[in-house]
Structure 1
Amino acid sequence: MTVAKIPPRSPNCNPHAERFVRSVREECTDRLLIFHRGHAEKILHDYARHFDGHRPHQGRDQLAPLDDPDVIPLPSTRIERRQAVARLVNEYRSAS
């Protein structure tokens, strides 16, 4: 494996990282007053868990990374809401 250095101030060289950083700023850190490094690490860890596990991604046909594309969801009568990332983001899933 070789390391490829990107030119400074080149936002299009790593679009996946740039998209994640933009999402974190817009949906999370711009809406919170962060008190110290530990608080920032907890918030960013919670957001990364939400981003990787629950949030839909365009490259996966609006499926979350942990969703199985072979499972056809049945219509649900009850939806359960869970607040994540310091109550900034709502996650919805079927209630069992």
Structure 2
Amino acid sequence: MVDAAAPGAGAVAAAAWTAITCTAAACTDRMLIYGERHLRSVLNEYRDHYNTHRPHQARGQRPPDHDEHVVMPIAGRIERHEIFGGVINEYRRAA
């Protein structure tokens, strides 16, 4: 039998599995999904959180969509924003 998998396919599969298990652990294990539309909504909200807010250790605690040229304010009040009905909290400087 010939393995027709492209080089690097194992790494892609591992990354996909990591994303799926992280999503499941972060939100879907703590909420009841009512159907495909609700699942898509939850996954889209988690994707936005993962890419724009959640810190990533390999990126120096910055999210993937972080713009290196934007200066983050360090003064001011911090506000908490609940996502997924409070399952996950995001913290940001008040405007």
> TM-score band, normalised by the shorter chain?
0.7 to 0.9
TM-superposed deviation, 1:15: 3.1
Name the residue aligned to 1:44: 43
Counterpart amino acid of 2:6?
A
Rounded to whole Å, the distance in 2 between the matches of 1:48 and 1:13 is 17
Superposition CA RMSD, Å = 2.3
Unaligned runs of 5+ in 1: none
Query: Where do residues 1-96 of structure 1 align in structure 2 (5 Å cutoff)?
Result: 4=6, 6=9, 14-71=13-70, 73-96=72-95
Name the CA distance, whole Å, in 1 between partners of 2:38 and 2:70.
Answer: 37
- Distance in 1 separating the partners of 2:20 and 2:80: 25
Taking structure 1 as the reference length, the TM-score comes to 0.76
- Divergent runs of 4+, >4 A: none
**Structure 1 residue 70: deviation in Å?**
4.3
TM-score (norm 2): 0.77
Q: Note the residue ranges of structure 2 that are not aligned, 5 or more in a row.
A: none
**Partners of 2:33 and 2:91 in 1: CA distance:** 26
Q: CA deviation at 1:88?
A: 1.2
Percent identity between matched residues is 34
Shift of 1:76: 2.3
The structure whose residues are more often helix, as a share, is 2
Deviations, residues 8-54 of structure 1 (Å, cap 9, x unaligned)? xx7x6633222211210111111111111111111111111111111
